[in-house]
Structure 1
């Protein structure tokens, strides 16, 4: 049997097909544009997602000759897709990285209180989330708001076009601020807070459940948001197992939880997991490998391998040079969209390699801000993302978090986890855990170097002092 995973991302739809051992037998990708009509805004045409999905599925079905027996969906979280009475989008989708609704978030937290909001939703009100976008729409485009008949997330719009069903899963729905995450159901109280009509919302189910069928009868699993699906693809399924640590454009620390236990201050996200009856906590660093990409572009465009080779010539700590990685603001633990990055401690001796090493270390320390909040801590991390391909950065992260880091045989990310869910929906595996046991295979392992870990532990205090110092310098303390 073969199972497809479809990942509706911010820049493209990525798809793959795996067999019952987890071997990737086909891959395809189709890209589309991102619109930024104003500073801080990010929008896309949902029809672009559907066209790309059709292209990817056609390529996957034509590869290898064997049929696809199940499909799982994943994709960018938090995006707002609003449909009218004719089931057509009323406007472009407002995406996860759109910050226009920050005033609405501030107003909601002031009215409801952070403690009550976190107790219900597991999270603070962030501009990236779905519900604040609805409030923005009501206040700024009331004529559009009045026409809303359905609200969908990005991958769920693709599901609707694929199966005709309006369904979402508990993991992706957790990022809307409309779900009672502990009860795994839409919250009447949150719906009232954000002015949403329950009739607009899709049916919410567990991630491996069959949500509908394609025209040719292939079952489509409910799926999950990209972080939960990606963690599933890394084998992160329960509290006793490994954590997922992602060093992509953003950085993520992700741990499964057997019980719903949100951080009272909302510093960590608390979402339903793609594993039925489980939850997860997650810390997000907004600029991770993206910070290294910025440095590369700002210093002449050298290859990443050249930059990290130059960084390796410097000792840990870079003679007091520190980098605060807040190029796009920060989410965990500060929830501050306005703070910005900085180098501190620059000296005439510091060269491009020193700047690079400081970025590698600053990003690792930013990951540690989230890791420090996870309790109990997993004893192993499964490491993925573009930054995980660097041996030096892997050593730095392992030492900073003081945890062994494992790689897995597949680096296909969220699409791989979605394909596992497709396998459960197709009946090849009885449970998500069975799918993971059959298909997720750890390979390389990096142990934290004790001397390096000790050096970075000594630097924690100086790194943690950067954020309040930057806020004070900006007059916001």
Structure 2
């Protein structure tokens, strides 16, 4: 009798969607299900999500995948998801409030105070990462200030993937990569007593979950949940990692000195170090990986694929398929006719490899002979220049593995190879974060000798984009101009931001403009 196909489930709960992916033990995707989730935004800067809705999205995708794979044997489940924010849970397991997400801006004004009085420095000293408005310590202060009664409702802080794992197993826990963005000392791997004291947050200590090895089994799916979703009773659920770190695992980037990039809504460039002592920048994000003293140092520039979505719509190509749009950019020779694009189109400015909340996008070098296709290609090149700056800041050498929606563009990968003068290696299969936690699960249930062995089993094929020496030389000149002109404009960004705000106020007032 033929044996049943063994399956590992990877759940990836992102900011706008939740996905469940079924992998067989050779790394092939057997089934995928996605469900959108809504981000609730308000004029006060809040960005929230309904935690129950995220759980419902996860259960619907798990059930859909289970139904599609039929009689396959599900042997383990891993969960990853978005990081940061405040995901507060009551003692009875209900959400204490809507989840405040990583992009919540309510604490921006408070951030200035923390920068002035040393509390931000205390966070950086313990965690190794700069503070921002969506990080738990400062966001929690903001939430409790607005709703003091919330303090009495909080039993546990659980990040997104930890919330879903809790709902699956009943276990309240986290891993070092998530805890690194709260109160963890990333040099020691333990919560920092000094940080609790420096922030006056001693009372928060008891509300933080225990920190477990990412490759350990947090528990098994509760019987009532298993019955509802069609999962086998006793199915082990591993601890897992935050999505950016899980993506590195999914790419097989496990060794010290290895780097990778995520080309998504925002960019991310990361490199593994043997210890925090090797971290190169004060502006990078540092995550403990749970693999000994190893840390992942990363930069997350805001210069992501929304720049491409914007130029596509602005040039009147919004109804065209991306394949058609990209053909126009491919037809333009490298250098875009001398046009440079500064890809700082995010309303919140830039955060890596430099911090500039007033940063804005610009086209430079245009004339009346500039074509729409040249403008289009220049945006691809501007994104590549920005990513090169981050890879150099982190000291990444050798081939760069890439994933994310932007990596599906052959043009962007080819330009990135020429701009960085290195091989760009793209994974041929999607769902890298889910694949990463599936690898972790495979190792945890001893279906692989260790995590490296699991990565070998589940890693898909890749495509390599190699740099062309002639284009490398041209882009070297363009990159120098990109940095020089960008830095010359930086002092004027606050004024440009102010002008934009004044222009917006004038337009909304309805006053005639002469």
TM-score range, shorter chain: over 0.9
Larger radius of gyration: 2
> 426-435 or 302-311: which moved more?
302-311
**1-side partners of 2:314 and 2:411: how far apart?**
21
- 1:357 is matched with which residue? 377
TM-score by length of 2: 0.87
Alignment of 1:139-218 (within 5 A): 139-176=145-182, 178-196=183-201, 197-215=204-222, 216-218=233-235
- Say whether the 8 Å CA contact 1:130–1:175 is kept in structure 2: yes
Closer, same or farther: CA 226–48 of 1 in aligned 2, 3 Å: same
8 Å contact 1:170–1:206 — kept in the other structure?
A: yes
Pick aligned residue for 2:117 from 100, 111, 129: 111
**Alignment partner of 2:19 out of 3, 14, 27:** 14
Asked whether the 8 Å contact 1:307–1:352 carries over to 2, the reply is no
Pairs aligned (count): 474
Tell me if the contact between 1:115 and 1:264 (Cα under 8 Å) persists in the aligned partners: no
The CA deviation at 1:315 is: 2.9
Deviation at 1:141, TM superposition (A): 2.4
Show the counterpart of 2:432: 413
Structure 1 length as normaliser, TM-score? 0.94
Q: CA deviation at 1:233?
A: 0.6
User: Once the 2 structures are TM-superposed, how far is the Cα of residue 371 of structure 1 from its aligned partner?
Assistant: 0.5
Q: CA deviation at 1:115?
A: 5.9
Matches for 1:12-411 after TM superposition, within 5 Å: 12-38=17-43, 40-62=45-67, 63-112=69-118, 117-176=123-182, 178-196=183-201, 197-215=204-222, 216-241=233-258, 243-261=259-277, 263=279, 265-273=281-289, 275-300=291-316, 301=318, 302-328=320-346, 329-375=349-395, 377-411=396-430
Distance 2:280 2:469 in 1: 33
Measured at CA, do residues 401 and 275 of structure 1 come closer, stay the same or move farther in structure 2, by a change above 3 Å? farther
CA contact (8 A) 2:281 2:394 kept: no
Q: For 2:136 and 2:119, how far apart are their aligned partners in 1?
A: 18
Higher relative contact order (CA 8 A, sep 6+): 1
TM-aligned CA deviation for residue 167 of structure 1: 0.5
Structure 2 unaligned segments of length 5 or more: list them.
1-5, 223-232, 497-514
| 3-state SS, counterpart of residue 73 of structure 2 | coil
Asked whether the 8 Å contact 2:281–2:393 carries over to 1, the reply is no
- Residue by residue, what CA displacement relative to the aligned partner does 1:199-226 show, whole Å, maximum 9, x if unpaired? 0000111211111111221111111111
Which of 406, 419, 429 is the equivalent residue of 2:448? 429
Partners of 2:121 and 2:156 in 1: how far apart? 29
Partner Cα separation in structure 1 for residue 294 and residue 44 of structure 2: 38
How big is the shift at 1:462?
2.1
Mark the CA change 1:206 to 1:39 in structure 2 (over 3 Å): closer, same or farther. same
Alignment match of 1:465 (pick from 465, 468, 484) = 484
The answer to whether the Cα contact below 8 Å between 1:232 and 1:274 also exists between their aligned partners in 2 is no
Distance in 2 (CA, whole Å) between partners of 1:274 and 1:28 is 29
- CA 1:220–1:378 in 2, change beyond 3 Å: closer, same or farther? farther
Q: Which shows bigger deviation, 102-111 or 206-215?
A: 102-111
- SS at structure 2 position matched to 1:175: coil
User: CA distance change for structure 1 residues 37 and 318 in 2, over 3 Å: closer, same or farther?
Assistant: same
Shift of 1:192: 3.1
Superposed displacement of residue 470, structure 1: 3.6
Structure 2 CA distance for partners of 1:274 and 1:367, relative to 1, 3 Å = farther
- 1:344-391 CA distance string (max 9 Å, x none): 22211122211111110111111112101123x231111222222222
**SS of structure 2 residue aligned to 1:69:** strand
133-142 or 210-219: bigger deviation: 133-142
Aligned-residue offset at 1:74? 0.2
Whole-angstrom distance in 2 between the partners of 1:466 and 1:183: 42
My pick for the range that moved more, 336-345 or 225-234, is: 336-345
Q: What is the DSSP-based 3-state SS (H/G/I as helix, E as strand, rest coil) of the residue aligned with 2:341?
A: strand
Shift of the 115–32 alpha-carbon distance from structure 1 to 2, 3 Å rule, reads: closer
Query: CA offset at residue 411 of structure 1?
Result: 1.7
Note the alpha carbon deviations across 1:244-270, whole angstroms, 9 max, x for none: 222112111121222223646522222
CA RMSD of aligned residues (A): 2.1
Distance (Å, rounded) in 1 between the aligned partners of 2:185 and 2:495: 33
Structure 1: runs of 5 or more not aligned? none
1:3 aligns with 2:20: no
SS of residue in 2 equivalent to 1:106: helix
Q: Distance in 2 between matches of 1:180 and 1:432?
A: 24
Question: Are the aligned partners of 1:262 and 1:281 in contact in 2 as well (CA < 8 Å)?
Answer: no
The 10-residue stretch of structure 1 (416-425 or 465-474) with the greater mean CA deviation from structure 2: 465-474
